[in-house]
Structure 1
Amino acid sequence: MSQSSPAGPGPSSSASVHRSIFGIDPIDEILTHIGGWAYTVTQGGTILSSPEYQTLDGSPPEAEIEIEAKIGRLIDTRTNRRLELPILNETILSDSSGIRFESNMSSDEHRHYNTMLNSLCPPDLTGQRPTIKYKRHQEVDYFYASSSRGEKVRVTKDFNTRRIKERGSVIKKRLANLEVYCPNRAFDYRISINLEIQAPEPSSSSTHDYERDKNRLSYTYPGIRIDLTQVKVDRPQPSQQHELEVELVPPTEGGTHSEDGIAWPFSLVSNTQLLFFLHRSYRLKVEDRICQMERQVVVDKIGQKGDHGRVGRSSVVVVAADVDSEGVMASSSGCATGLSCCS
């Protein structure tokens, strides 16, 4: 008489399933690399104390470290099309030569994000998350030549009153960029670290080189600000762009990003990734793959029964994850409208 082994816990079992035999989760290499990279670039948040940036009296300059993720697309300069690499998942590029980053999207994509972010602004009555605050800014940037190593002085003024904004005259010094390629998503992203150093406002007799109008909606959440901006530039020729950025903001007044340890790269990257995931085209790509897998299951079953008839839409039932306009995951039955795999 054979002895059967005890059945292991199935999907419906209440037995807990441990993540690993070591009792810890594997290291997220993307977050670890971004955190270490930013720590090195900013010298642990102390870069403003380095001799390179000290003022004449030896004190640090009046400046801020800016860390942000811009959403856009990596373009192969040889083909002038979006980059295509033989990889299957999100990847940090070690070499960005021959690649340019375009931080632009269509007006329809911009509108989609505007609607989605607006839906998150009503207060959360359950108390499970802080309230997201939003504010519109209409500003104009004027760019002047600077005697400081060829960098530009950016003067930001209120669009209507033309009064200079608080801390509105700065020199933006780029420290480093990190390009992240996302083949499964509609966009890639670039993480940038910059210094915004306060500069004297140019004299009224100075002539600016060019200007940039910004119509911006800012959505602020603890530690994070998401900016949706419509930008109009008059140089080299009049143009309009639609931009989406995720920027770190100090958790408290006078705080620094370095105080947050691993929390800040997780917050920056996870919020950027979720914006991708909630984008309509990414949802359709995921649902399309699920639809193809489900269709193959049906084809296999029909083949086993000897029925070689055509598999149509009514033959396939797909249960896929969907995201509604409020960003809530919901189960939806049936194929998403417009998916060719189920036609």
Structure 2
Amino acid sequence: MDLKNLISSEERPAPDMSRSNSQPRMSIHDLVNADDSAIRQRSSITHLTNDEDVDMNGHKTVSLTRRKSSATSSEVGSPFAEVRSRKQPAPEQLSPIEGHKENKPPSRKPRRYTEKPTWAKDYIPTVRKSVRKPAMATAATKLSVASISGTIPRNDFNKVVTEWIWANIEGTRHEYKSMGSIDKYLELELKVGHIWDKVKDRRLRLPVNSETILNVDFFQTDCYFRSGVPAQQFHDLRAYLGKLSHEKPNHKANKFVVENSHCVDLIAYERKRDEKPTTGRVSVDVKTQRRMSSIHKHRVADLVIYLPNSLYDLRLSMSLELPYEMNDAGFESFQKRVELRRDKDRVSYSHLATFTKIDMTKVKENGSVKHEVELELDTVELLNSMAKIGTDPLYYIDLVQAFLDNGRIVSRQLSIQE
């Protein structure tokens, strides 16, 4: 006699004439040969822990606790009782394990960040159009994700620039902390020109195919920066910016504010022992002959950017322009020490959306004429982005990135040969 017949003969109940053919009684044989979905459903965690369970015929039964408290002798003696007890462990059997988990001793491993610190986060795009595209691209990328990690890692170039700006601002604050807040006197500008090789007396040529930042020691030893552009490229760039400013004058994303000024800078250099050299500068309006500003200018640091695919390079400079108070007698004394006069006829294009001002200046000094192009970042907005780094860590990076991109656009526009 096989197992099927043995169990069926011992456990077979009296015939129930009221049972319909749609609900046949299940035997061990039926359970063994049942399909996988039925077994998985019966063994799922939902059926093991729900207060309402079902019996072998699919009828609802009372909860495990009530069933154990009201168990009959026939259930205890049934061959299925042991099977059910193995499938459904009692709560008192589980509680010691759960208590052990709750009271386990603290781990001695070093605590790890549950979330990356602000300074270590990569850019996670929320809209695919926000991913940067080449200048000639007109449509958004069709990639569903930015990279294998879903982020856009910061490249070395942007990392060097953003950290350089941050470090120099904090260093300047510390150096001049005795004066109180000096934030409003900071200036950050990009100047267009050439990195000049001192030995070969020509523009520097490096064996690289993409833009790079020069090592400070190498630059100071072997090179210097020549600012200025030829008159023709200067006028072409001015026409280009004028066209941009008139295309959508009322559109906030592309609005420019154009200003004209004409002044003379009177410059006197002051050199004191064991102190950084400073530049005293008084600007006098040509039309009214009134003093527009008087400052002491301290150069904080320079970062030189070599652009091999352009005709021009960039110099990123941070300066501190402290007010230079003087009365009429002091101004007369200052004029006696003036070493350089610069007549500056300037047109400024302020791009409101990127907080960048582009100054195009025709300079007359020492009997010669120069054409200078420089970009200045709104320092108030820069410091505001730094103050919000905890709540909006990407804004500071994006603001600096837009400033650098504006410098690249200007340099490439100047490089167009017609």
Q: Same fold (TM over 0.5)?
A: yes
2:242 maps to which of 112, 118, 121: 118
Greater relative contact order, per chain length (Cα 8 Å cut-off, separation 6+): 1
Of all paired residues, the percent bearing the same amino acid is 24
Q: Is the 2:234–2:414 contact (alpha carbons within 8 Å) kept by the matching residues of 1?
A: no
Q: Distance in 2 between matches of 1:135 and 1:147?
A: 34
Write the distance in 2 (CA, Å) between the matches of 1:225 and 1:63.
17
Count of aligned pairs between the two proteins = 258
Q: 1:189 aligns with which of 288, 309, 314?
A: 314
Counterpart residue number, 1:228:
360
Match for residue 42 of structure 1?
169
2-structure distance, mates of 1:186, 1:15 = 34
**What letter matches 1:159 in structure 2?**
V
Counterpart position of 1:269: 404
1:198 maps to 323
Change (3 A) 1:67 1:257: farther
More strand by share: 1
Give the Cα separation in 2 of the matches to 1:128 and 1:199: 36
2:386 aligns with 258
Structure 2: which amino acid aligns with 1:84?
Answer: R
Counterparts of 1:193 and 1:15 in 2: how far apart (Å)?
40
SS in 1 for 2:185: strand
- Whether 1:81 and 2:209 are equivalent positions in the alignment is no
Consecutive unaligned residues in structure 1, runs of 5 or more: 1-13, 285-336, 338-343
Is 1:215 the equivalent of 2:371? no
Q: Larger Rg: 1 or 2?
A: 2
Which SS does the other structure have where 1:246 is aligned?
Answer: strand
Q: Which of 175, 180, 186 in structure 1 is aligned with 2:300?
A: 175
**TM-score, normalisation: structure 2:** 0.57
What is the rounded CA distance, in whole Å, between the counterparts of 2:291 and 2:313 in structure 1? 34
Secondary structure of 2:409's counterpart equals helix
The alpha-carbon deviation at position 198 of structure 1 amounts to 0.7
Secondary structure, counterpart of 2:152 in structure 1: coil
> Aligned pair 1:25/2:152, yes or no?
yes
Residues 162 and 273 of structure 1, relative CA distance in 2, 3 Å threshold: same
Change (3 A) 1:39 1:132: same
Query: Which residue pairs with 1:143 in the alignment?
Result: 267
Alignment of 1:302-317 (within 5 A): none
Secondary structure, counterpart of 1:278 in structure 2: helix
- Give the conservation status (yes or no) of the 8 Å contact 2:189–2:377: yes
Q: Following the alignment from structure 1 to structure 2, what is the Cα–Cα distance between the partners of residues 240 and 197?
A: 28
* CA distance 1:263–1:64, shift in 2 (3 Å): farther
Q: Does 1:244 align with 2:373?
A: yes
- Secondary structure at the aligned position of 1:200 is classed as coil
Kindly state the Cα deviation for residue 186 of structure 1 after the two structures are TM-superposed: 1.1
- Unaligned runs of 5+ residues in structure 2 are 1-140, 388-394
Contact 1:71 1:103 in 2 (8 A): yes
Give me the CA root mean square deviation: 2.6
Aligned to 1:306: none
Q: Is the 8 A contact 1:69 1:247 kept in 2?
A: yes
1:279 Cα offset (Å)? 3.4
The Cα shift of 1:199 comes to 1.2
CA distance 1:34–1:162, change in 2 (3 Å): same
More helix by share: 2
Amino acid at match of 2:332: S
> Are 1:278 and 2:416 an aligned pair?
no
Structure 1 runs of 4+ with >6 Å offset: none
Deviations 1:275-315 (A, max 9, x none): 2233353xx6xxxxxxxxxxxxxxxxxxxxxxxxxxxxxxx
Cα deviation per residue 1:12-64 (whole Å; 9 max; x = unaligned)?
xx975533222112322211110001111111xx733x354524xxx345951
